[in-house]
Structure 1
Amino acid sequence: MDGNRIPDHPDVRAITLQQILEALVDPVRRSIVTQLCDAPTDLRCGGVDLPVSKSTATHHFRILREAGLIRQYYVGTSRMNTVRRDEIDEAFPGLLDAVVSADRMPFGVGAPS
């Protein structure tokens, strides 16, 4: 693998809660994180079911990577994605579980009436 093709990832010690929450405010990005958490293996960008164009999806993956939530790497020509679960859980215990659980709820469930 060509080391120049590995995207930059922030050190987990430099990640702030603010960055993570700002990245997760978008429902498309929450969906990406939920799908990656649910997947039995790492997923290529095209393997994530999204209601947006390829260029928009690329933008969302970049935001998640720069916020420190996902790690990306290449296998051949495919850009693979995985949640940095162990690192995020260590820095922000329970955060990913709470976000993914909330994202799985049907729309309107748990909302004030």
Structure 2
Amino acid sequence: MQRTPPHPELADFDLQRVLEALVDPVRRSIVAQLAAAGEDVRCGAFDIPVSKSTATHHFNVLREAGLIRQYYVGTARLNALRREDMDRAFPGLLDALTQCPGPRH
């Protein structure tokens, strides 16, 4: 059994897939929390209003789109924002996403 899940290579990044991953507010929140943390974060440490199984789905979507890298340290699955790769593929996208205010009512 492979411990580290597969991640797309930079050459395989697809803007449509990235944008579809980011359309969900929970996934945008995960990306914003990773950007603000400035370090890798355990899956269970995110402040998201979903069940563990739903959170797993959201992490998988972000990983498959290339936005995050997941790896294990002991039994903890850590998440890293792939900022450098995203900046190479889509310059300014993560900055625009993480610096913009939330929805206005």
Which protein shows a greater Rg? 1
Q: Superposed, which structure 2 residues align to 1:71-82 within 5 Å? A: 71-82=69-80
- What is the aligned-residue identity percentage? 62
In structure 2, runs of 5+ residues without a counterpart are none
2:9 corresponding residue in structure 1:
11
1:101: how far off?
1.5
Alpha-carbon distance change, 99 to 106 in structure 1, aligned in 2, over 3 angstroms: closer
Matched, 1:108 2:104: yes
Q: Superposed, which structure 2 residues align to 1:29-68 within 5 Å? A: 29-68=27-66
Q: Distance in 1 between matches of 2:57 and 2:36?
A: 21
- In the comparison of the two structures, how many residue pairs are matched? 105
In structure 1, runs of 5+ residues without a counterpart are none
Q: Distance in 1 between matches of 2:93 and 2:51?
A: 28
Give the aligned residue type for 1:70: I
TM-score, reference length from structure 2: 0.95
Q: Distance in 2 between matches of 1:57 and 1:12?
A: 24
